[in-house]
Amino acid sequence: MNKHINTVGSNTYQRIKHDIIYGELEPGTKLKLDGLKTRYAASLSTLREMLSRLASEGFVAAEEQRGFFVTPVSREDLIEITNLRVLLECSAVKESIENGDTDWEGNLVAAHHKLHLMEQKMLNGDETQKETWKRYDGEFHLAMIQACNSKNLLDIHATIYDKYLRYQMLVLTYRGQEAVDEHKAMFDAALARDAKLAQELLEKHIRKGVEHTLEKIFPKDA
């Protein structure tokens, strides 16, 4: 029971980050300290500290003497995020498959199982838990790369994934059976320890998902 210590700071940090990722604070919004103070019930110093953190992670844009903004979204940014995710996650999945032990396999099986259950629900028309589904999706992808033996890589990937997630939340589209099959195929490739195949499937999976998102958020570009 690794209970999270509830300091005011880390609590508001998590809430602001969540609100940005899940679109409750819209891209480009000016974050006036006085407003946040009432909304999150924290002091200026504490808020600044957390906004600085979010700024260096890239969720908030900080302009000297001019305040904080929710980082804007753009077509180019989504493309960059996607390419980075492909680069990092493919590299990590290779390492992970080559080094993963029994524990890793166990966690992967569990993660895929949970995701698969949720996907079945979605296919049957129950779309009430999209946020939970997306969480299981993220946990599955994390489980795939967990054994890559690089804390640094996992940290960077986590941030990139959250940025990707924000774009997903702007549309929250469900690709249905197609995505389900892709997850299953990646899962099988990982258990079969076929790193090369897993990498190829993963890249296709990521890029296909983003294609949908791109089309919906930034349609029709020259």
Binding residues vs DNA (CB under 7 A): 4-5, 7-9, 30-34, 41-46, 48, 64-68
**Rounded to whole angstroms, how far apart are CA atoms 87 and 78?**
14
Cβ–Cβ < 8 Å for 13, 53 = yes
The contacts of residue 197 (CB under 8 Å, 6+ apart) are 189
The two three-digit tokens of residue 58, written as one number: 């890239």
The contacts of residue 150 (CB under 8 Å, 6+ apart) are 92, 95
* Contact region with its own copies (CB under 8 A), list: 30-38, 46-54, 133-141, 176-184: 46-54
**Could you tell me which residues are beta bridge partners of residue 62?**
68
**11 touches its own copies (CB under 8 A):** no
- Binds 68, which of its own copies, DNA, none (CB < 5 to 8 A, cut-off by type)? DNA
**4 touches its own copies (CB under 8 A):** yes
The Cα-based distances of 185 to 43, 99, 147, 189 in angstroms read 49, 20, 19, 6
**58 touches its own copies (CB under 8 A):** yes
The nearest distance, CB 72 to DNA, in angstroms, is: 16
The two three-digit tokens of residue 201, written as one number: 């499937």
* Contact region with its own copies (CB under 8 A), list: 34-42, 79-87, 174-182, 203-211: 79-87
- Interface residues with its own copies (CB under 8 A) are 4-5, 7, 10, 45, 48-50, 52-53, 55-58, 64-65, 77, 80-81, 83-84, 87-88, 91, 149-153, 155-156, 160
